Amino acid sequence: MSDTVTLTIDGQEVTVPKGTNVLEAARKLKINISYFCYHPGLSVAASCRQCLVEIVGQPKLAPSCQVVATDGMKVLSQKSDKVKVARQQMLEFTLVNHPVDCPICDKAGECTLQKHYFDWDAQPSRSSNEKVHKPKRVDVGPQIMLDAERCILCSRCIRVCDEVAGQHQLDMTRRGDREVISTAPGQRLDNPYSLNTVDVCPVGALTAKDFRFTLRAWELMMTPSVCHGCSTGCNIEIHHQEGKIYRLAPRENHQVNKYWMCDEGRFTYKSVHAGRLAAPVVDGLPSTWERALSAAAEKLKSVLDKSRDALGVVLSPRHGNEDNFVLARMARDFLGLDRLYVVGKKPVRDREDKILRSADVNPNTKGALAAAGGPAAGLSVLEKDLADGSLRGLLVLGADAPLSDEVLEKVRALDALVVIAAHEQGLAPLAHVVLPAADWAEVHGTITNREGRVQRVRAAFPPAGQALPAWEIAARLGRKLGATLEFPSPRAVFLEMTSKVTAFAGAEWGKEAPLVQLRFAGTRG
């Protein structure tokens, strides 16, 4: 028995899996069926009636989002005058009480109602009656404002709360043309996934307080990337202008995050611009790259000359695979060092859920461990080695090193402390030499999520000030220490990494790799 069905839409034949609705079958043929309430990641409501189509042999038009495709079915969409009139009439009905405030609406330029109006109707209103007024500027939650006059009652936001967040926080009240979306009794729109309601809202009814009245949608550039808020690795879009991020939005990936992302992840863009290191620093003073690299090499050599076992290298699960690989390769293959550590932010247990949020708030823990090229110790071992005086020097990647106050005193007494970081925090203020690195939104490369998926990140804009990608800094510093590390591009680093590190074998630049399987014990402590 076949698992597929074949139907005809506007004279074109298409074969789809059983259970596919007519709307999705039409999308496979690139036939545009307009809709408001339908969303592929939510249950079907079939309430807007904007996606009506004609099914040959049936007396009434049917909502294509609800009708399941069957073998031999014949559907008319673009080629039916009855359907076109129905879509125009539904649009006119939707616009009867909708305020025409597009010039001040945040959704202008990406509004589904606006798009459908120009696609299917584009006629002036025939109604001269006063529009029904509803509550405006309603504070429904800590992140979101509601303009009930703009709401077209599609119920997408209700379904997001119920089906994605698992919390019934929105509801419909009243009837007829007085019906409105509001918070459920005793509730606020306050859950870890609340901003997905703004994404799915087809009009400007729900707006994010963080982005409200900031920029027009068409003024923003979009760069595909991966969220760095935790180890889940949600696929995202970076919306930016002139080197500044204004918002992050989820990007569809059915294997990772489907259509969603958590609110906390959306706000990780703020840290990209905060407390940036824009120039090299030597002994607390700005420096040139040449002087800083020479000073760093001199400090590290002074420790190496005494004992190679006294120098430790700290990799970062908050930096990409390429950054960690180049630094680890320099340490192991050229300097002969064994003391490698992978240290990032501590787990946050109370943020973990069964949806997307992970307790591991480092985006690349699995990738950093794999890129280390062998066993690497963790935070507790690093603290022990510092406390007992085993280490006299540290080369640190990243600004996150949650050391105790007692251990920080030992760090201050080190003979050499060189930090490669994007932000003036963590160990950077204590370092003899600080080398400014590009942050995640400024680099091309890859990270590996908790499942072992190697995912591509892309630079949205150039690094701040004189900052460079961390892999390039590591290669330059390595050459000062006598290592032959020559990489013309991040892709060249990636290709060498996939050839030398078994865990990354099969990974492709720009494509998801087979899941990374660590072939060694991982961290010790």
Can you give the length of the chain in residues?
525
Other CB atoms within 10 Å distance of the CB of residue 7? 21
Split at pLDDT 50, 70, 90, the class of 513 is low
Please provide the average confidence, as pLDDT, over all residues in the chain: 93
pLDDT category of residue 199 using cuts at 50, 70 and 90: very high
Beta bridge partners of 146: 138, 206
Average the pLDDT over 363-382 and give the result: 94
Banded model confidence at residue 127, pLDDT cuts 50, 70, 90: confident
366 pLDDT higher than 50: yes
pLDDT at 63 over 60: yes
Question: Burial, 255: exposed, middle or buried (Cβ in 10 Å; 0-12, 13-18, 19+)?
Answer: exposed
Contact 153, 179 (CB under 8 A): yes
Write the CB contacts of 3 (distance below 8 Å, at least 6 apart in sequence).
Answer: 17, 18
* pLDDT value of residue 198: 97
Of 196, 512, 170, nearest in space to 356 by CA = 196
CB–CB of 144/197 below 8 Å? yes
- Summarize pLDDT for 278-334 with one digit per residue, the tens: 999 999 999 999 999 999 999 999 999 999 999 999 999 999 999 999 999 999 999
Q: How far is CA 70 from CA 4, 21, 45, 408, 422, in A?
A: 9, 9, 20, 68, 56
Kindly tell me if the per-residue pLDDT of 15 is higher than 90. yes
Distance CA 65, CA 88 (A): 18
Element (H, E) at 263: helix 263-266
217 vs 234: CA distance, rounded Å = 22
CB 288, CB 465: distance < 8 Å = no
Measure the CA–CA gap between 265 and 284, rounded to whole angstroms. Answer: 33
CB atoms within 10 A of CB 517: 11
- Tokens, residue 119: 């696609």
Q: What is the pLDDT of residue 516?
A: 67
pLDDT band of residue 141 (cuts 50, 70, 90) is: very high
CA angle 321, 326, 327 (to 5 degrees): 100
pLDDT at 400 over 90: no
Q: Are 323 and 474 in contact (CB under 8 A)?
A: yes
To which residue do tokens 């909708």 refer? 98
Section 111-131 average pLDDT = 87
> For 429-479, how does the pLDDT look when each residue is reduced to its tens digit (9 = 90+)?
999 999 999 999 999 999 999 999 999 999 999 999 999 999 999 999 999
- Give Cα separations from 204 to 51, 131, 184, 325, 447 (angstroms): 20, 17, 20, 45, 34
pLDDT tens profile 236-279: 999 999 999 999 999 999 999 999 999 999 999 999 999 999 99
Give the pLDDT score at 125. 84
pLDDT of residue 83: 94
- At residue 401, the pLDDT reads 84
Residue 83 main-chain phi, psi, to 5 deg: -65, -45
Look at residue 221 and give its three-state secondary structure: strand
d(CA 427, CA 46): 56
Structural domains in the chain, sorted by start: 4-95 (3.10.20.740), 102-125+133-273 (3.30.70.20), 281-524 (3.40.50.740)
Of the candidates 365, 422, 430, 369, the residue with the CA atom closest to the CA atom of residue 398: 422
Q: How far apart are CA 201 and CA 150, in angstroms?
A: 10
CB 267 within 8 A of CB 210: yes
3-state secondary structure of 404: coil
